[in-house]
Amino acid sequence: MRAFCLIIVLIALPFATAVAEATGVVIVRHAEKADDGSRDPELTRAGRQRAESLANALGHARVSELIASQYRRTRQTLAVLARRRGLDVSVVPAESGAIEDHIEAIVEKVKESSAEGLIVIAGHSNTVPLIVEALSGSVVSPIGESDYDRLYLLVPSASGMDVIESRYGPSP
């Protein structure tokens, strides 16, 4: 089933970028983080492999913009993709206790974007579902603390944004 979902995403990604200068959005949770007791841990080896898997999954898509929070784990999740595409990762700060402000800032950044391809956003277990909902109006299931493989593709449609939920990288 996981392979089937990834195939759907890989088929849909080129189509999403071919829509007349419309912007699609890919939203993922950051990859596996180290359990080092800090508030800003780095990715684990498995997390770095998942970041590589994300770059591979989006290898044929026209990625135009990358957005992450200020935390290392979100920026590192997008780092391989950024290197391969020669893009910078835009940081939208997530202040403690101000999750609504963070979501609003991401939505505003997406709406103001002049990107002509996919915008890829790396968020957190508590922000990814809210970002998907804010951009599409669709409610998605919460993300568990050990779920690192979710990928949401938001594709422009006549009614707004359609959401395709998939998985990427190795199974947990």
Instruction: Give the H or E element holding residue 161.
Output: strand 160-167
Q: Look up the domain containing 39 and give its range.
A: 2-167
Cα-based distances in Å from 4 to 8, 30, 55, 120: 6, 22, 19, 21
Q: Which range among 25-34, 43-52, 95-104, 135-144 shows the weakest confidence by mean pLDDT?
A: 95-104
- Please check whether residue 172 lies inside any domain of the structure: no
The pLDDT tens digits of the residues spanning 99-123 come to 999 999 999 999 999 888 999 999 9
What is the reported pLDDT for 172?
Answer: 66
For residue 77, is it within any domain? yes
pLDDT digits (tens, 9 = 90+) for 55-92: 999 999 999 999 999 999 999 999 999 999 999 999 99
Domain for residue 37, yes or no? Answer: yes
Q: How high does pLDDT run on average in the chain?
A: 87
